[in-house]
Structure 1
Amino acid sequence: MLEWLNQPLTLAEFATTPLEILGFVTGAICVYLNTRQNVWGWFFGIINAVLYAVVFWQARLYADMGLQGYYFFTSIYGAWMWLYGGTNQEALPVSFTPRRLYGLFIAIFCVATLGWGYLLNRYTDASLSYIDSGLTAASLLGQWMMARKYLENWLLWIVADACYIGMYIYKELHLTALLYAVFLGLAVIGYFQWKRSLAESAIPESY
């Protein structure tokens, strides 16, 4: 019934499928709206997570496939936080990431990368197990930081997106690599827009 979603086609010299194109469009809309602090970005994030779960399953990038389930639920969480996560259940403002969290973030990244990479490498036919797992761990942290409106989420996404571009080119997911190039540009824009918003609100850095 939905076989047409996987029909191969060529778009601007990129080999792709309608499924990947839909993922491209919803992903770009999602991140653009997030840079604008528009809560509707999370709605497109939910759709994008479902589409890319299938894309990555087909590409045997199982860590990325699992990440889409996390994106699905954190998109719901992020929408609620942005609407009601502030003081007195008001809209959540942009803030700095509390410094006390950095050590925890580093520990989570290392454990998730090595643990998940080992399991995928040993028990599945996953491709690029440790690279995929490391980028997945970074994305887990970045998505949660975005849901909390921590400014530095964009810096993490800038690094992760640049690495994702290389991985997807290697896996011949060229349209997805292009999407992450768009994500990279939007992450730079998002950082400066959120930084401006933070300066206007004059919220101090936390420890």
Structure 2
Amino acid sequence: MRHQSLLSLLHSLYEFWTAAAGGTPLEWVAVLTGFACVWLAARESLWNFPVAIVSCGLYIVVYYRAQLYADCLLQGFFIAMGFYGWYAWRYGGAKSTALVVTRTRLWEWAAVAGGVAAFTAAFGYYLQTYTDASLPHWDSFTTAGSLAAQYLLTRKRLENWLLWIVVDLIYVPILWYKQLYPTSGLYAAYLILAVYGYVVWYRASRVATSTETISA
């Protein structure tokens, strides 16, 4: 009996590894560059933006094949925001200096909440009614949340990582369901990186606040 249980466990592990090791070479390159760009962002490295542009370009193809059309559009937005963020982090601060980590303004929270709700309802309805999209409303919600989080990241708002945590928690099961196993694993890693990014940026925001206080 114990022997059969062991064989069953080994078989289950084998099936899990086979699934997890799946995916096309294109998806794996997108996964690796995606992980690299988030890690660089958590470290406040300007190089996160060019790496993200490459990764998002690859994911347009990956998501299109998986019928996740909202996420295809999202990658195009990420590419545009990548160029914007690249400039903003370098010259978007006071007197064209580099940006520092700051807290999200109240009006930004209001805009984020309203925008996410409106986009999810409207685009989810469109996808459900006029396309063969899979999981249209969940797809739309994660897209809207990612749009909001990416905007806050380009402005170096600390709370962008909190939005990414919420989005990543939803993406992991969705991508696994769509059999994008390497990408599902990537978003699980993103979840850990988002927590790490929040801790690092929180410390940076405290340093920036202390510096401003001393300067004043």
Give yes or no for TM over 0.5. Answer: yes
Residue type of the partner of 2:117?
A: C
Q: Note if 1:34 corresponds to 2:34.
A: no
Structure number with higher helix proportion: 2
Q: Note if 1:74 corresponds to 2:81.
A: yes
Residue type of the partner of 1:73?
A: A
* Aligned mates of 2:73, 2:107 — CA distance in 1: 28
| Deviation of 1:103 (Å) | 1.5
Query: For 2:25, which of 13, 18, 24 is the aligned residue?
Result: 18
* Aligned mates of 1:57, 1:152 — CA distance in 2: 30
Query: For 2:149, which of 142, 148, 156 is the aligned residue?
Result: 142
Query: For 2:180, which of 173, 179, 184 is the aligned residue?
Result: 173
Give 3-state SS (helix, strand or coil) of 1:37's partner: coil
Instruction: Point out the more displaced range, 195-204 or 23-32.
Output: 195-204
* Aligned mates of 1:174, 1:137 — CA distance in 2: 22
Please name the residue that 2:5 is paired with: none
Give 3-state SS (helix, strand or coil) of 1:93's partner: coil
Please name the residue that 1:5 is paired with: none
| Deviation of 1:163 (Å) | 0.6
| Deviation of 1:94 (Å) | 0.3
Q: Note if 1:153 corresponds to 2:160.
A: yes
CA RMSD in angstroms, aligned pairs only = 1.5
* Aligned mates of 1:153, 1:32 — CA distance in 2: 14
| Deviation of 1:35 (Å) | 0.4
Instruction: Point out the more displaced range, 101-110 or 124-133.
Output: 101-110
Please name the residue that 1:6 is paired with: none
Name structure 1 gaps, 5 residues minimum.
1-9
**Deviation per CA, 1:152-190, whole angstroms, max 9, x where unpaired?**
000000110011001011111110000001111100000
| Deviation of 1:144 (Å) | 0.4
* Aligned mates of 1:176, 1:125 — CA distance in 2: 21
| Deviation of 1:137 (Å) | 0.2
Q: How does 1:185-204 map to 2 (within 5 A)?
A: 185-202=192-209
Give 3-state SS (helix, strand or coil) of 1:121's partner: helix
* Aligned mates of 2:42, 2:201 — CA distance in 1: 7
Structure with larger Rg: 2
| Deviation of 1:12 (Å) | 4.8
**Deviation per CA, 1:71-127, whole angstroms, max 9, x where unpaired?**
000000001000000011110000000012212211101110010001111111000
Q: Note if 1:114 corresponds to 2:114.
A: no
For these two proteins, the number of residue pairs brought into alignment is 195
Please name the residue that 2:9 is paired with: none
TM-score (norm 1): 0.91
Please name the residue that 2:68 is paired with: 61
Structure 1 runs of 4+ aligned residues shifted over 4 Å read none
| Deviation of 1:15 (Å) | 1.6
Please name the residue that 2:4 is paired with: none
TM-score (norm 2): 0.88
